[in-house]
Structure 1
Amino acid sequence: MRLVEYVPACCQRYFKYSAIMVTALAGALLFVYLFGPMIYDIKGLAFKISTLPSIQGKTIMEIPPFGSIGANTHQMPFELRVRIEYIGTSLASNILDYSGNQPALLKHLRENIFQVACLYILRQALVGFLGASLLVLAIWRTRLRTTLLYGLVPAIIVTGILLTGVKTYSIAAFDELEYNGVISLAPSIIATPGELIDRLEEMQENTRLVVGNMQALVDNVDRLSFLGSPEKDPSILQVLLISDLHSNPVGIEFIKGLANSFEVDLIIDAGDLTDFGSPLETKVTEGLNQLEVPYVFCPGNHDTPEIATYITSLKN
């Protein structure tokens, strides 16, 4: 380039090499920005990963249209952006397949994340190499061998930065999240797991109180003598009809309370005891084994053959 002619002769060589290297780095960064992002899919979760230069090493997870969450996760000057593109129903099924086997689930996730990380770093290196080589060739008209060498240096730099970022990456950083958008209301709306457990226990206790109050109400309504004490007439078969529990954690407790309070002779479940029919959801229905009356189950469209088999195995 003519710009080199204005540099003192003693420095022209070093200036040219430096200028070509700056050109190569610019080409690499430009191509990484334009062509580096890629969409990946892990068992029904599709997300787009991209990298941007940044003073702080951060990870930003975009969850449109709710906003984004971020954390200072690594020690290299780039920002890793992960944008959720699609969440399929198969994701829940795949997670539920590992119910009761958390180590296997974690191992499976690590393997998938490792594969995605390797593919992403390889893509950035190739894109950076291509961008650096093309820009150097277009501006400086260098020989092919020289062009490839100048393209290789930025590719190595990009790879080194990303690998160092992976090495210094801290999952614990997500304990201190930064919220942007409407999702910033989540901490004040969504309870913590501990609070959810406390509320569940409170709901179960209140369910027992509601059932007891229902029995007291019926017993004291003189006009409803048939309902007030139907158990006194042995010729009457009392049937409790239920349906659509959908893995409600207090549903089984409610059924047990009604069955005991009204001394029913038979329980008929019209189906949809669960949401996905997964092995994990059988844990929610284990309380049915404590019922002392016959339990007739008619599977719904949400109940799988595995759920029906489990119900059949119960003593009642």
Structure 2
Amino acid sequence: MDGHDENTRQRTGEGRPPGRKWVGTLRRLGVVLAILAISLTGALLGVLAGGQVDTDIGPFRARMALTPALSGGTTVDIPPLGALLLDSHDGPAHLDVELGALDQGRVEALIDDPASINRASQSAVEDVRNGVFRLGLRTVGAAVLVTLILAGLAFRDARRTAWAGGLALVVTAGSLGVAASTLRPQSIEEPRYEGLLVNAPAIVGDARRIANDYTKYAEQLQRLVGNVSQLYTTVSALPVYEPAPNTTRVLHVSDMHLNPTGWQLIRTVVEQFDIDVVIDTGDITDWGSEPEANYVGSIGLLKKPYVYIRGNHDSGRTAAAVARQPNAIVLDNTTTTVAGLTIAGIGDPRFTPDKSTAPAAGGLDRPTADQVITTGEKLATTVRESPTPVNIALVHDPASAGPLSGTCPLVLSGHTHNRQVSKLPQQDGKMPTQLLVQGSTGGAGLRGLEGEEPTPLSMSVLYFDENKLLQAYDDITVGGTGQAQVNLERRVVPDPKAGANVPVTPTPTR
């Protein structure tokens, strides 16, 4: 009996000194932490080493790769044209898709038979689905394999190695499961493009086609791959950008502030996006002086209707200089019809060339606020009395926009140098009115260079359907004076009959 009791005490730890118990507990805790550390390290190394596959997407040879990331999302690299960024899912995994070389045989088929582009587009969805599935299996397998190797070398114990491998399996598969559960197929409707501006229209695609069936993920992906296929199979230049029937394209610019770079950017966008009319919501100059009037001569070179209202930095002489341009229309509490759009506009009531281009942090004082609001009320009266329903109203300061609520579907403004999208408070029984505030197309002029980084150059392409209602818009941002890269973000405006109609405010760009 004494021997039996002694064995029992040894197994249960009875009779051991307290210090020895703590040593045993700490040892077990150390083993658990070691298994956890090796599992996480092995999973991470496995994802980085093996989380990639080569696959065919239509005519392309593509590489898909997964990397750990808290923000998730998908990047589609199309070298050398740029990249599409999609808010496709949440973390902890980021998907990179790089379209690489073309299969020579498939390229020749595309050139010889244009219909094959459509067939390649049809297969693109299944290609991507199969590629992602293979990528997930490969990633999980690589994470488990690397973990087993590390654990085997570290522990030389089959049980602990198995625990580490199982934990790596749970972590990796669980992470991919989280990403899959947050999948947003509609993200293909609103891609963000980064690359050279000249390539943006062909890569992002036509807004009307995207807006018509924006809930159908497969169709959007087919169009995307179709656009890229046509781009790559064109030998000498980009494919002709064919406007969708009955779509009107408007370029909204504001706050040029004498920056000549702004005109270069405007000319590029007018040409590449097949713009029908340019709208300028003011502050084209800085001081409104006579010498500055020569700056507006570039308006005539655009050879497109140019609708303009005065900003608080523009004088009467500035407005007169704009009016002398053969394609310009100056609105001052008046309306005009251009490219099928009826537009009403009014100049800013102030002339403050000695003020900063951006509004003061404290906002408007009461007399100035009353003056600005009264301007909006005057334009609202003009809009209501217009014999033709007004599609767009123009004010320089968004503080003037309030009285226009319910009078027209869309109000455009500038002044703040900060791009914003919002809805005006809706009045009972009145139509909803959306307010789009533009940033500075001139990068705030010379003042834009005063900060640590140049103020970005901003403009937007607005797409109107056959009913002259806004269906989508592209926010274009160039990094600042002297920077050549462009950031383009697509925003699709939901049908108000289908539900809420508040578009997402564009993500701040770099």
TM-score relative to the length of structure 1? 0.51
Matched, 1:31 2:46: yes
Give the CA deviation at 1:31: 2.0
Aligned residue runs from structure 1 range 1-316, under 5 A = 9-88=24-103, 90=106, 93=110, 96-97=115-116, 106=122, 108-138=123-153, 140-182=154-196, 186-187=200-201, 192=206, 194=208, 196-198=243-245
CA distance 1:126–1:169, shift in 2 (3 Å): same
CA distance 1:190–1:156, shift in 2 (3 Å): closer
Give the CA deviation at 1:193: 5.7
**CA distance in 1 between partners of 2:100 and 2:57 (Å):** 12
**CA distance in 2 between partners of 1:30 and 1:157 (Å):** 13
Tell me if structure 2 keeps the 8 A contact 1:21–1:150: yes
Tell me if structure 2 keeps the 8 A contact 1:67–1:183: no
Tell me if structure 2 keeps the 8 A contact 1:56–1:72: no
Q: Encode CA deviations 1:31-87: one digit per residue, 9 max, x unaligned.
A: 210222221123432111111111211101111122322122112311111111123
Structure 2 match to 1:280: none
| Greater strand fraction, Structure 1 or Structure 2 | 2
Tell me if structure 2 keeps the 8 A contact 1:125–1:156: no
**CA distance in 1 between partners of 2:198 and 2:42 (Å):** 37
Determine which structure has greater relative contact order: mean sequence separation of CA pairs < 8 Å that are 6+ residues apart, divided by chain length: 1
CA distance 1:68–1:154, shift in 2 (3 Å): same
* Unaligned runs of at least 5 residues, structure 1: 1-6, 201-316
**CA distance in 1 between partners of 2:159 and 2:190 (Å):** 48
Moved more, 56-65 or 108-117: 108-117
Tell me if structure 2 keeps the 8 A contact 1:39–1:46: yes
User: Percentage identity across aligned positions?
Assistant: 22
Count of residue correspondences: 190
Tell me if structure 1 keeps the 8 A contact 2:53–2:134: no
**CA distance in 1 between partners of 2:162 and 2:80 (Å):** 43
Give the CA deviation at 1:189: 9.5
CA distance 1:148–1:184, shift in 2 (3 Å): farther
**CA distance in 2 between partners of 1:152 and 1:116 (Å):** 25
Give the CA deviation at 1:183: 5.8
* One-letter amino acid matched to 2:97: V
**CA distance in 2 between partners of 1:125 and 1:35 (Å):** 9
Moved more, 23-32 or 146-155: 146-155
Tell me if structure 2 keeps the 8 A contact 1:27–1:132: yes
Q: Which has the larger radius of gyration?
A: 1
**CA distance in 2 between partners of 1:144 and 1:15 (Å):** 17
Q: Encode CA deviations 1:98-151: one digit per residue, 9 max, x unaligned.
A: 85x99xx75x4443333222211111111001111111222x223134313311
**CA distance in 1 between partners of 2:42 and 2:206 (Å):** 46
* One-letter amino acid matched to 1:159: A
Tell me if structure 2 keeps the 8 A contact 1:68–1:183: no
TM-score relative to the length of structure 2? 0.33
Give the CA deviation at 1:187: 4.3
* One-letter amino acid matched to 1:151: G
Tell me if structure 1 keeps the 8 A contact 2:151–2:160: no
Q: Secondary structure of the equivalent of 1:27? A: helix
RMSD over equivalenced CA pairs, Å = 3.5
CA distance 1:22–1:50, shift in 2 (3 Å): same
CA distance 1:84–1:144, shift in 2 (3 Å): same
Q: Encode CA deviations 1:166-216: one digit per residue, 9 max, x unaligned.
A: 33221211333233332686149987364713499xxxxxxxxxxxxxxxx
Tell me if structure 1 keeps the 8 A contact 2:39–2:168: yes
CA distance 1:110–1:67, shift in 2 (3 Å): closer
CA distance 1:36–1:191, shift in 2 (3 Å): closer
Q: Secondary structure of the equivalent of 1:117? A: helix
Q: Secondary structure of the equivalent of 1:131? A: helix
* Unaligned runs of at least 5 residues, structure 2: 1-21, 209-241, 248-510
**CA distance in 2 between partners of 1:188 and 1:117 (Å):** 25
